Amino acid sequence: MDRTGGFDERPGSAMSNTSSTKSEKEDMWSSMLSSVASSKRLPHKSVLVLGGSAEGQKEFVESLGGGAGSNTSGGNRKGEKRPPIANEFALGYTYLDVLDADHEDVLARLGVYLISEPTPSFIPLLQPLFTPATLPETLVVILLDWSKPWDWMRSIKTWVRLLRGIFTSLDDDCRRTLDEVTHAWETRRSTYTDAGGGEVTIPLGPGEFDEPLGLPLCVVCYNADKIGMLERERGWKEEAFDFVLQFLRTVLLKHGASLIYTTPSAPSPIRLLILSLLSIQSSSRQQPLKHNVIDRDRVLVPPHWDSWGKIRVLREGFDVEGIGSGWSIDISPGSTDQSGVDDGAVEIYEEVIKDPKRGDPEGLNILNKSGSSGGIEVSAVDTQVFLAGQMELLEAKAAEEVAAKGEKEDKYNPASGEEAMEQHVGPVQFNVGGIQVDPENMLERIKEREQTRTSEREPTPPNPTGSEVESQIEVLSAFFTELKKKGVTKGASPGS
């Protein structure tokens, strides 16, 4: 204390030293707490899911580990209740945590936004999702259902044009952020590190990333188990599935997008694909994604992998240049959404992969040289045409019945039976006085003998003896003919 009775706080005094030590300890604890809080701050990522049915969207979320029926390595810790998926009306939402390989630490939190229909009235709901802070951490996913593959190109076109319309309406800061994201995505594709540690830049190929959307894009074709149904019931051939795959790859190459086919309750690399697109490394031992364009129900095209040359290899004759140019026309601001108006890629696709509701019962018009696609559906025939065809069938059936009746009458005709018997058993012979006699042969010999006697005689006027001889010949001929008939009627030769 000083002379006035107060505390001495001059530099170097005991009180001054105690205060400075206390202040230093508080600063140290604040720094430590701040660093711990910073390390525990979770990175937030956003996934915008467009299209698909309510069930299809739930299956997609569950494949990432966020649904109640999921058994993947993501989602919440063991024993924790998973959040519900609200996607019945307008803009749906759910979230899930991405865990590490040991299921202990949370690596990131995903906010999943879901919308089923590209309704213009939903645009005000989507615009607040895109801010300078959220755009670099956002991924767009388009769901396509294998039960309706004829709608795919028009669906992708509608969603791409809707997103582009939203992005053009954002403020300057958001548009600058989109440009930065596009540049970073392009650099990620064209730059890699060589063996010496230096960066090497590879130019983009033709038709590659020339229509950037602004955000990473992934297209998921779910319900791939319906491929077998298309093959059995609608007559799809291998050429049709190759055409669809080549078309998808050509279109998505222009946006730098990835592609994957999934089957419900079947193992799939979709979770690894989504996490890699969001730059989330779930494991230090994580293997790189391997492409697959051979197995038609397990297709996987990773980002920055595809090219025109690889698309042509799948099946010759596919016009990648024409399809790419037509797609640029389809998504341009001046195009329309009406079917048959634009001469773009969508019309080419729908001309080959037809919708059964629009006049093609098989839903297919590709490489079917025989003229029939093998589908089980049949188109209705005009009533008059049907009745005329039935009349022709009835007339043909009546003619067949008349012909069959004539054959039946011939079958019971005695003369025809006699001829048939002669063809099978030969001439009929009789036993006369122990001698086998052939009636026909005997008649011929009697006639020849009488003709010889008549020719040897001198020409004389006709007398009664000639007529008597002729009458005797007729009597004998009738006698032997009657014997033949009796033998045929009994069914056996008398001389046997």
**What's the pLDDT tens digit per position in 359-372?**
655 555 554 433 33
User: Is 212 part of any domain?
Assistant: yes
What's the confidence (pLDDT) of residue 400?
Answer: 86
pLDDT digits (tens, 9 = 90+) for 147-174: 999 999 999 999 999 999 999 999 999 9
User: Is 439 part of any domain?
Assistant: no
CA distance 179 to 94: 28
User: Is 209 part of any domain?
Assistant: yes
Range from 75-79, 319-323, 337-341, 469-473 carrying the lowest mean pLDDT: 337-341
CA distances to 30, 138, 167, 213, 451 from 131, in Å: 31, 10, 10, 16, 129
Q: What is the CATH number of the domain that holds 175?
A: 3.40.50.300
User: Is 453 part of any domain?
Assistant: no
Asked if the model's pLDDT at residue 407 lies above 50, the reply is yes
Which residue did the predictor score with more confidence, 267 or 14? 267
User: Is 155 part of any domain?
Assistant: yes
The number of domains in the chain is 1
CA distances to 49, 71, 269 from 64, in Å: 13, 10, 10
**Paired strand residues for 94:** 112
User: Is 231 part of any domain?
Assistant: yes
Average pLDDT over residues 481-491: 62
User: Is 34 part of any domain?
Assistant: no
Under 8 Å between Cβ of 301 and 259: yes
Burial of 465 (C-beta count, 10 Å sphere; 0-12/13-18/19+): exposed
pLDDT digits (tens, 9 = 90+) for 204-234: 899 999 999 999 999 999 999 999 999 999 8
pLDDT digits (tens, 9 = 90+) for 237-295: 999 999 999 999 999 999 999 999 999 988 999 999 999 999 988 766 667 889 999 99
If we measure between CA atoms, which residue out of 182, 247, 184 comes closest to residue 215? Answer: 182
What's the confidence (pLDDT) of residue 298?
Answer: 95
313-346 residues labelled b (16+ CB within 10 A) or e (exposed): eeeeebebeebbebbeebbeeebeeeeeebebbb
Domain that holds residue 222: 41-68+82-192+201-360
User: Is 426 part of any domain?
Assistant: no
Give pTM, 2 decimals. 0.66
